[in-house]
Structure 1
Amino acid sequence: MIETALGVAIAASCIIITIFLTSKLGPEWAWINRKLIHFSIVPAALLFYYGMIPKEIFSPAAALFGIVQLAAHLKHKELSWYQLNHNYGEVFFAFSAAAITFFLPRDYATALLLVMAISDGVTGVVRHFYFRRNGLKVKLKKHWTGSLAYLATALVIAFIFLEGEAIRKVIWAVVLMLAEYQPWVDDNLAVPLVGSLLFPLY
């Protein structure tokens, strides 16, 4: 019980502190702030992996976070330093995290969570600075530089958290990278959905 309380306190603190600090950067850094908040769930994912936060707590907490963010959109009172009008990516992220941690085995769910947090975050940061450096509008753009960063980090996560042959881990990382890059479905839905469909193969 004490271990769980400590895990929840650490995980919540990391997320809350990141949200507070990013608010100081302001709306002009909204795209980077979103990715920093993605990164902030890494401690929660690792604490979930090591059993300090059970799925019965992690999943409802993620869903509640999604509801709070959705309410801000519906009331047109977005937290402007990281929420974008008509973009529900952070809401999809939270609901997806709730679903995969509840329905998938812990090891696999952790790998998928870390890809959503780290790979997507790194991708966004790389793309952001690539477009800014080249004087182009960064908002919502995809680029191969970000996808390369996504693939590299997804490979590291796959080799640490997934079992099986190396080629299967490479295929997993490549497929998730393509799911992130495709333009039709928000990647915060596409990646966890595709990753969940891949689970029987792993």
Structure 2
Amino acid sequence: MFEWLPYTGLAALFILAAIALTRRLGPEWAWVNRKIIHFSIVPAVLMFYFEFIPAEVFSAAAFIFGIFQLWPHIRNSEFSWYQIKNNYGEVFFAFSASVIPLILPRGYTTALLLAMAVSDGVTGIIRHYYFRRRGFNVKLKKHWTGSLGYLITAAIIAFLFLEAGTVGKIRWAAILMLAEYQPWLDDNLAVPLVGSALFLLY
């Protein structure tokens, strides 16, 4: 009945270990630390894909994690090593991850969650190092180098998990890349919203 419990515990352990590791790196690496924590959900997503973790359990765990991250913002006592004041991206990420498995098929959900975790993480780290070398504020900048990293990794994910033709997979990756790059809506909301809408095409 609770066969999913050890897998869920193991998936949570990866995320908690990433939070502990990034705390050691400190607040000056907050932008990179956020992306490391993004990467840490990959084991949970893969366990969901291979049906070791049910959609309802994955959703509930993501929702709880979202509340866990929202609370410091409400109290104005953010976890300084990865949370940024007035930036709720990690909260949006968790809440989005709690909804997607409940409304989309397993394979498509996996592709979208991996794009949110891996592609977003890659693009953020590329941009961080690009602007760090130039002395700019990496928290406020986007650049084509990061978007290229997003496009490549999202295309790889699409080829692995989407049931579509080659053109469709590349188009999916390109549209998500544009959703991440646009400046009007936090990408942790824009990508899952656009990605969910794109399901109608796939």
Fold match (TM-score > 0.5): yes
What is the match of residue 87 of structure 1? 87
Give the C-alpha shift of residue 5 in structure 1: 1.7
Cα shift readout 1:118-174 (whole Å, capped 9, x = no counterpart): 000000000000001122221131000000000000000000000121000011000
Give the C-alpha shift of residue 2 in structure 1: 5.8
Give the C-alpha shift of residue 192 in structure 1: 0.3
Cα distance in structure 1, aligned partners of 2:91 and 2:140: 16
What is the match of residue 115 of structure 1? 115
Cα distance in structure 2, aligned partners of 1:75 and 1:135: 32
What is the match of residue 164 of structure 1? 164
Cα distance in structure 2, aligned partners of 1:195 and 1:27: 31
Q: Is 1:14 aligned with 2:47?
A: no
Percent identity (aligned): 65
What is the match of residue 105 of structure 1? 105
Give the C-alpha shift of residue 15 in structure 1: 0.1
Within 5 Å, give how 1:29-178 maps onto structure 2: 29-178=29-178
Give the C-alpha shift of residue 23 in structure 1: 0.4
Give the C-alpha shift of residue 200 in structure 1: 1.3
Q: TM-score under structure 1 normalisation? A: 0.98
Which amino acid counterpart does residue 148 of structure 2 have in structure 1? L
What is the match of residue 194 of structure 2? 194
Cα distance in structure 1, aligned partners of 2:7 and 2:201: 31
Structural RMSD (CA): 0.9
Cα distance in structure 2, aligned partners of 1:135 and 1:18: 27
Structure 1: 4+ residue segments shifted above 2 A: none
Cα shift readout 1:31-52 (whole Å, capped 9, x = no counterpart): 0000000000000000000000
Cα distance in structure 2, aligned partners of 1:2 and 1:96: 25
Which amino acid counterpart does residue 44 of structure 2 have in structure 1? A
Cα distance in structure 2, aligned partners of 1:71 and 1:198: 32
1:120 aligned counterpart, secondary structure? helix
Cα distance in structure 2, aligned partners of 1:96 and 1:70: 13
Q: TM-score under structure 2 normalisation? A: 0.98
1:63 aligned counterpart, secondary structure? helix
Which residues of structure 2 form unaligned runs of 5+?
none
Give the C-alpha shift of residue 9 in structure 1: 1.5
2:4 aligned counterpart, secondary structure? helix
Cα distance in structure 2, aligned partners of 1:140 and 1:38: 19
What is the match of residue 180 of structure 1? 180
Which amino acid counterpart does residue 6 of structure 1 have in structure 2? P
Which residues of structure 1 form unaligned runs of 5+?
none
For this pair of structures, how many residues does the alignment match?
202
